[in-house]
């Protein structure tokens, strides 16, 4: 599904990712953990194709294609989805219109018929149940005036509608109280499937109590220094990131 090889990337000439190696298979859930500033979010945004980042060397292969050659909107149409750490508020653009535009662009790219307003409404009402969202959110501007929890739910709702093959959830747990975390995590769990890979980027282990990963990677200063199973997250929670610092960079994982 996804293979990252010796990826070096950064912004404004400053290298943030210093040789990332990561392989994600279909249906797998990988957690990428690390302290603040380790480059987790940069990795997430580079995968989604944010153009302000430069890739200096290395490669990303997604479904056999060179991902770095593909602009962000086409990555999305090819099935990549990034749940933002800070979902963007878009004044004057209604949530429902936004999502319908996105879904129809993806559908037409895939040679599927676009949904009309009625069909879309049927679909979205079903999907909203996954994250327990009130239909009134559909007619509000995208993320405007949403609480932190509502924004994150909205991200998962978008994921449910767009049905990605690779979802990257960037700090989806940050800023959530325990109830909101449960709703969001249960939404993600409902979306797990053998065809859908998920990368969870997170600082804390607590999200992983709700979403059980298949693999855990620890990222420090732009490299993945340790990889393992879900028990690695528990060790991290007990011992903190300090015990791992200074460990040699992991080469190819898995």
Partner 1 sequence: MRTCFYESSEKGKTSGGIHYLSAFQAFEKEYFAADPTWLNSLRKEGIESFRNLGFPSLAHEDWKYTDVRPIAQSLFQPVFAEPNGAVSRKDVESNSFGVSQWPLLVFVDGIFSEKLSCIPKKLPAGLILCSLRKAVREHADIVQAYLGKQKQYPQNSFAALNAAFIYDGLFLYAKSGCELDMPVHAVYVSSPKHENGLYQPRNLIAAESNTGIAVVESYFSFPAHEYFLNAVSEISLAKGASLEFCRVERESEKGFHISTTNAVQHKDSRFGSSVITLGSKVSRNTLQVFLQDGGAECRLDGLYVTRGNEHVDHSTFVKHESRNGTSRQLYKGILDDSSTAVFSGKVYVDKGAQKTDAEQANKNLLLSEKATADTRPQLEIFADDVKCTHGAAVGHLDEEALFYMKSRGIGAAHAQKILTFGFASEVIERLKLKPVKDEIDRLIHDRLDASSTGKM
What would the two tokens of residue 38 be?
A: 């380790």
168 near 62, Cβ under 8 Å? no
Give the nearer residue to partner 1 in terms of CB position, either 9 or 244.
Answer: 9
Give the nearer residue to partner 1 in terms of CB position, either 80 or 185.
Answer: 80
181 near 173, Cβ under 8 Å? yes
CB atoms within 10 A of CB 125: 12
The rounded distance, in Å, linking the Cα atoms of 127 and 204 is 28
Give the nearer residue to partner 1 in terms of CB position, either 105 or 132.
Answer: 105
Query: Closest approach of Cβ 164 to partner 1, in Å?
Result: 10
Give the nearer residue to partner 1 in terms of CB position, either 72 or 175.
Answer: 72
Query: Closest approach of Cβ 49 to partner 1, in Å?
Result: 7
Query: Closest approach of Cβ 86 to partner 1, in Å?
Result: 8
Query: Closest approach of Cβ 248 to partner 1, in Å?
Result: 34
Give the nearer residue to partner 1 in terms of CB position, either 42 or 205.
Answer: 42
Element (H, E) at 125: helix 117-130
CB atoms within 10 A of CB 68: 15
Query: Closest approach of Cβ 3 to partner 1, in Å?
Result: 21
The rounded distance, in Å, linking the Cα atoms of 83 and 154 is 9
Quick one: which of 124, 114, 202, 108 has its CA closest to 160?
124
Which residues of this chain interact with partner 1, rule CB under 8 A? 48-52, 71-73, 75-77, 81-82, 84, 87-88, 90-93, 97-99, 101-103, 105-106, 109, 141, 158, 162
């Amino acid at each position: 599904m996804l293979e990252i090889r010796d990826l070096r990337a950064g912004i404004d000439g400053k290298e943030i990712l210093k040789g990332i190696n990561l392989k994600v298979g279909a249906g797998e859930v990988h957690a990428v953990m690390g302290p603040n500033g380790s480059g987790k979010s940069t990795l997430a945004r580079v995968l989604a194709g944010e153009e302000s980042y430069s890739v200096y060397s290395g490669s990303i292969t997604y479904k056999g294609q060179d991902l770095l050659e593909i602009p962000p909107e086409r990555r999305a149409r090819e099935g990549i989805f990034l749940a933002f750490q800070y979902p963007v508020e878009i004044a004057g653009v209604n949530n429902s219109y936004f999502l319908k535009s996105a879904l129809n662009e993806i559908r037409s790219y895939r040679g599927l018929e676009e949904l009309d307003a009625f069909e879309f409404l049927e679909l979205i009402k079903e999907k909203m149940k996954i994250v327990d969202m009130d239909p009134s959110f559909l007619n509000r501007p995208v993320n405007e005036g949403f609480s932190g929890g509502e924004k994150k739910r909205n991200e998962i709702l978008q994921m449910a509608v767009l049905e990605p093959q690779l979802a990257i959830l960037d700090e989806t747990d940050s800023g959530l109280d325990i109830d909101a975390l449960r709703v969001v995590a249960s939404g993600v769990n409902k979306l797990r499937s053998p065809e859908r890979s998920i990368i969870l980027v997170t600082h804390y282990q607590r999200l992983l109590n709700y979403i059980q990963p298949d693999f855990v990677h620890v990222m420090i200063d732009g490299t993945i220094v340790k990889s393992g199973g879900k028990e690695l997250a528990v060790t991290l929670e007990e011992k903190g990131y300090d015990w791992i610092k200074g460990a040699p960079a992991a080469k190819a994982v898995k």
